[in-house]
Structure 1
């Protein structure tokens, strides 16, 4: 034991003006209580200690720090009464310190070695700053004040941690320093201030309670007498696991060398042997097939044996699948002695110079996430006891690998989103492969380009729900709004004759009348429309604002005029009605989209126009793992026809809610031959591939306003469905479906078979037109 005054903060503590002193009064009270309660022979020790303290007459007297060494015999009684009897002094890190100062004045030899940085085998770096020490001391002081005088337990930790480096191994060692304040008496010098404890608890939880209390409870209001008891315990294993967990919680990427070093150093500290090596190997998957990791975790021994330098991608995937399906633990203290045939794989580890080897599968949420290798080089070995020391860290390491896997998947997703578009599940696998190959070449510093995304021989289905005469209706609404604005302006200008009769006003009236005549005659080109808008929005507005400033009496009338001209009543009503239709059709298709995948995966893409258009592609190349046959195509065609019926009924039922009455037309283009499609990265969408297939795309773009041959009648009509095709064989799948829907009363019994006009570069198109049974809106 030593009675030496030592500043354990390394003289980093800031001065703290408090009324504190060493006192044994509280300890004497403690002895008296134990004597009254203790039925065993321990009571003799407490009685003997009490007698010594009473004989020295130190009960109510403050003891200056510099005089404490005069009371060594009394301090020995404190140690005897408070230290655990099961451990000898040589193994205890125990001491006494001044109240709320980082100054130890009595303790075991070990505490002076550790806190004084005098150990022969350890050196310690004080990582606390003066501000850290000050904040921790304030937290400890105020927690004691609140507990003793307000019966409020503050959420403050009374333990501190010291980090050290073992000079023999170079590994980290951690010690927990707990401070016991049971033997400090706190008294108030006056009346205690009132405290809002709800607010105070919130501040403590957020780490800011000390600053609030410094204003509410100045420290000069209190006296502190007694001493603190310090206990130090080694917590290297706990802190090593916490270091790994801390990296996991921060979701720090594992792909940096520095992060790996921190993990490996913590694992070496856990087993207390710097010569034991570690390696982490995450199980990465693309389309559920194992692929190489980009990085080497630790020594990289598993990457050397299982990686691309020795195994082809196919061999690696096969071996990894076998391991993941039946993950087994392997351990050998000396792999050079293993001769069984099933251990032939150890030859590759021997070539790397491995001596002892353990390979452990790691699991997260019951799923294998990687392999964990523990090994040594050359002649150094370890046994099963060493592996048992790693047990507390295995879950943390597994979760760390899961983060790496999540981030790898995130990189794949990022490439897809950056290089492609929002990809549907049916074709996601193809983009996954392309993104993986791109990332792989990029990480290997090889020329990295995105491979072409191509699906061969897929059947296309095209449908369009269009708003009847939408362009005409929009033009009519625009003209009606412009005419309304001109009428309002003309009336206002006529009123202004009472205030001003000059050429500028007459010119404005002339232009207004000229534009009104142009609207009546429907003589308004796009350039004329732009000129009229400039007249209304700039010239007229500027003129009216000028008049309002010159003649304040006109202000109210002009303001009313400007507000009326700012709106577009007819256009807005039309837009609201159009949005109601497109939103209803779009929501219906969205609700059906997932159902389409149940029978067979297909690619479904919608386009917003004045209505809604969609492309669907289905075929064997979309889902190579699932057999495709013609029944899958027929099922999709039945859905296409039935969904057009449903949308026709839905949009017709909206008429009563529309501000502007609008109708929809429904169009299906039937193409009975498979085509090739590829992803256009510049347009972020799929398009047809090959000269022959381009004809399909041409027909799609030119049939929306096609007429019946030798007539002026448009094929598409309200409340009807039109099916365009080239050859009678194309619609054979649809005819039974049409009869079925007619017989069930969904479609009208009439079926029109029509020939269509020739289009640019296209001839010979035919169509079926079907009437949908709709309920008239009330």
Structure 2
């Protein structure tokens, strides 16, 4: 007997009583049917000795002492012929007090084990209290409240598979009686309760604890609803957010499918199908908990591999379920051997692979596996009909989410539409969708932002072209020296005039590298080496003393270029590291800058990092714009470039190749217009007048100080180029502020910029960044 009278708070004083059943027996005893009357009289005679059976049992030990009598008393309600079929017991509604089990119920509890505690699923204290109150409202106050949500017991079987049983109550033998402490309710009180289901304090106020008597007994009957309940739970889990697919959720899925198929060792797996590349792909590769029977440990695989020949047509082409009930028998058929070994290595002896198809498109393959032969077969494979529709929706949603993520990455990394201007693109897209005519006839409106102030800045690798040329020459010199050494070793073993000629040509190329590098030098030498030298230095045709040299040479060759790539690799790695770090600093600071006033931002990695900012009322028409926001952004830009200079200074020692940087800001105080170029998928200045700004941007970083051969930019210094006296005053104020903060050094240089083609009157300010700035932190 299960008994837990004090498990929950309740408005009831519970009295288990058979008084209604006894009254029924008394009527039968007075009937004219002798065998029924005699049976009833005999039972009543036994019950007379136990007045508590009528008045109410408070000591539950009395039930255990008189189990046989209770069984006879309830014989009409618990037919012996059905005891091995029905799952039935006497119970107090909503309480875990049960007794007089049918034989099938007993077996279920025995299989669950002695430690199993039978509790109603998701039945919290407050819900229990309110449902007891609803019972009173329906029975005593004659309301018609529908509070009978499905209730379930979750009970494991002897193999540990969780089974789910729907609970049905029969309360025909229950009587609800108010005590002196019961509070009489008006209809207004009842209406208030009905409108406040979640207000537990109100329910306890109107139905105080122990203010009502629950007298009698109920009959609980269970129905095995494992499949239906598991499918419902599966639907709930599949609707959870995609980023919630953690290990716990994966375990839940496995438990659900074990319940549905009633296989304790059942494993589930999923493999994504990529139709474009005809590949199997593991879903959510950042997590290893999601299995794939098809891939095992691999992240992806070509569908056309011989390994998958045995099921390719069935699953991929015909979209049919593929079933292997016995892997060992499956292996006996020619063509199945490889996949049978693949499954056996995963300790799989039976499996089902079900294609997940939407329309006529294969989205993926859902997999079920067991360590036991014939545990999965063509019979229980029919249960997939209940599951696959939900998996199809989930996989379709997964693919759509994946495509959205891919599009977001492409937009962020390749064709970014900055968040500050995204609203205008969205507005135009909404107009397109609302267009009443044919969408193809809709002419997209150009995206233009007028009267915006531009800010341009860059931090550039000083002398990057010279550095790159120097590393190219160094790699070519080393490659030619190595080839000359190999030719020398071959000459000593073969009297071939061609080798003497090749050596002469290589030495000619080597002398050419002492001169400035021409644009096509590398390509000419590469073609010559590949066509004339490599064919005559194969290791298999070389003497023993030359083989080691030749092998070492080919090990140094870059697979992609066929050339030495050592000095250039150091340079490229250093450049990439500097660009990545400086771009990360700029992007991080940009998040803060957007708080000043929303503005358009874009940056580019070249031989350094450059950025464009545009700020103005048209960028965000919902916020009032003031030029103070422009001033704030200019100060932010200057300070951010200083921080980027500091970061570079701190990382120089870690670089594989020594690189210096120069920094430049172009000040332009006249507002311009920018237009989104549909063909180029990027913003550009709009109009002839505004084009002057772009011309200055492209030419200024290579300019010289007027009357000198000195570049306006210099390592470890910030150069600010401007046109008007007011701009000079503004930036000198910013410099003073940053000098006060010990970010910039005290000395300030001022100069005129040489005349550029079609541009004159530019001036410059140059100031050094204080690399020992006390607040700077190591990169």
* Cα distance in 2 between the residues matched to 1:529 and 1:77: 93
* 1:650 aligned onto 2:611: no
Report the Cα offset of residue 155 of structure 1.
3.0
Report the Cα offset of residue 726 of structure 1.
2.1
In angstroms, what is the RMSD of aligned CA positions?
5.0
* 1:602 aligned onto 2:599: yes
Asked whether the 8 Å contact 1:46–1:81 carries over to 2, the reply is no
2:738 to 723, 737, 741: 741
* Cα distance in 2 between the residues matched to 1:625 and 1:767: 36
* Cα distance in 2 between the residues matched to 1:606 and 1:76: 79
Label 1:588 to 1:46 Cα distance change in 2 as closer, same or farther (>3 A): closer
1:483 to 466, 477, 480: 477
2:491 to 494, 497, 501: 497
Q: Which residue of 1 aligns with 2:161?
A: 154
Label 1:744 to 1:419 Cα distance change in 2 as closer, same or farther (>3 A): closer
Asked whether the 8 Å contact 2:755–2:761 carries over to 1, the reply is yes
1:586 to 575, 580, 583: 583
Matches within 5 A, 1:175-254: 178=223, 204=258, 207=261, 209=263, 250=394
Q: Which residue of 2 aligns with 1:628?
A: 625
SS at match of 1:598: coil
Label 1:39 to 1:756 Cα distance change in 2 as closer, same or farther (>3 A): closer
SS at match of 2:537: helix
Q: Which residue of 2 aligns with 1:561?
A: 553
Report the Cα offset of residue 775 of structure 1.
4.3
Label 1:480 to 1:205 Cα distance change in 2 as closer, same or farther (>3 A): farther
Cα shift readout 1:87-121 (whole Å, capped 9, x = no counterpart): xxxxxxxxxx9xxxxxxxxxxxxxxxxxxxxxxxx
Asked whether the 8 Å contact 1:49–1:77 carries over to 2, the reply is no
SS at match of 1:462: strand
Q: Which residue of 2 aligns with 1:673?
A: 670
* Cα distance in 1 between the residues matched to 2:473 and 2:669: 44
Q: Which residue of 2 aligns with 1:472?
A: 466
* 1:527 aligned onto 2:524: no
* Cα distance in 2 between the residues matched to 1:440 and 1:581: 47
* 1:689 aligned onto 2:686: yes
Asked whether the 8 Å contact 1:462–1:669 carries over to 2, the reply is yes
Cα shift readout 1:677-702 (whole Å, capped 9, x = no counterpart): 12223322211111111111111111
Report the Cα offset of residue 712 of structure 1.
1.5
* Cα distance in 1 between the residues matched to 2:83 and 2:738: 101
Report the Cα offset of residue 76 of structure 1.
9.8
Unpaired stretches in structure 1, ≥5 consecutive residues: 1-34, 51-72, 86-96, 98-142, 160-175, 182-199, 220-241, 254-402
Cα shift readout 1:497-527 (whole Å, capped 9, x = no counterpart): 22112122112101111101111133x4222
Label 1:550 to 1:765 Cα distance change in 2 as closer, same or farther (>3 A): same
SS at match of 1:461: strand
- In terms of fraction of residues, the more helix-rich structure is 1
* 1:515 aligned onto 2:509: yes
Asked whether the 8 Å contact 1:588–1:647 carries over to 2, the reply is yes
* Cα distance in 2 between the residues matched to 1:626 and 1:605: 21
Q: Which residue of 1 aligns with 2:660?
A: 663
Label 1:450 to 1:416 Cα distance change in 2 as closer, same or farther (>3 A): farther
Label 1:208 to 1:485 Cα distance change in 2 as closer, same or farther (>3 A): farther
Asked whether the 8 Å contact 1:666–1:720 carries over to 2, the reply is yes
Cα shift readout 1:34-84 (whole Å, capped 9, x = no counterpart): x9976798755677999xxxxxxxxxxxxxxxxxxxxxx996999999799
Task: Tell me the matched-pair count.
Answer: 457
Q: Which residue of 2 aligns with 1:767?
A: 764
2:422 to 424, 428, 431: 428
1:750 to 735, 747, 752: 747
SS at match of 2:764: strand
* Cα distance in 2 between the residues matched to 1:415 and 1:656: 33
1:729 to 726, 730, 737: 726
Label 1:81 to 1:446 Cα distance change in 2 as closer, same or farther (>3 A): closer
Matches within 5 A, 1:198-597: 204=258, 207=261, 209=263, 250=394, 421-441=415-435, 445=439, 447-522=441-516, 524-545=517-538, 548-566=540-558, 567-597=564-594
Q: Which residue of 2 aligns with 1:619?
A: 616
Unpaired stretches in structure 2, ≥5 consecutive residues: 1-62, 92-103, 105-153, 167-220, 227-253, 267-348, 351-369, 375-385, 559-563
Report the Cα offset of residue 443 of structure 1.
8.4
Asked whether the 8 Å contact 1:415–1:435 carries over to 2, the reply is no
Asked whether the 8 Å contact 1:416–1:431 carries over to 2, the reply is no
Matches within 5 A, 1:77-88: none
Cα shift readout 1:255-306 (whole Å, capped 9, x = no counterpart): xxxxxxxxxxxxxxxxxxxxxxxxxxxxxxxxxxxxxxxxxxxxxxxxxxxx
* 1:702 aligned onto 2:699: yes
Asked whether the 8 Å contact 2:159–2:264 carries over to 1, the reply is no
Cα shift readout 1:184-222 (whole Å, capped 9, x = no counterpart): xxxxxxxxxxxxxxxx98983584729989999999xxx
* Cα distance in 1 between the residues matched to 2:610 and 2:661: 12
Label 1:705 to 1:46 Cα distance change in 2 as closer, same or farther (>3 A): closer
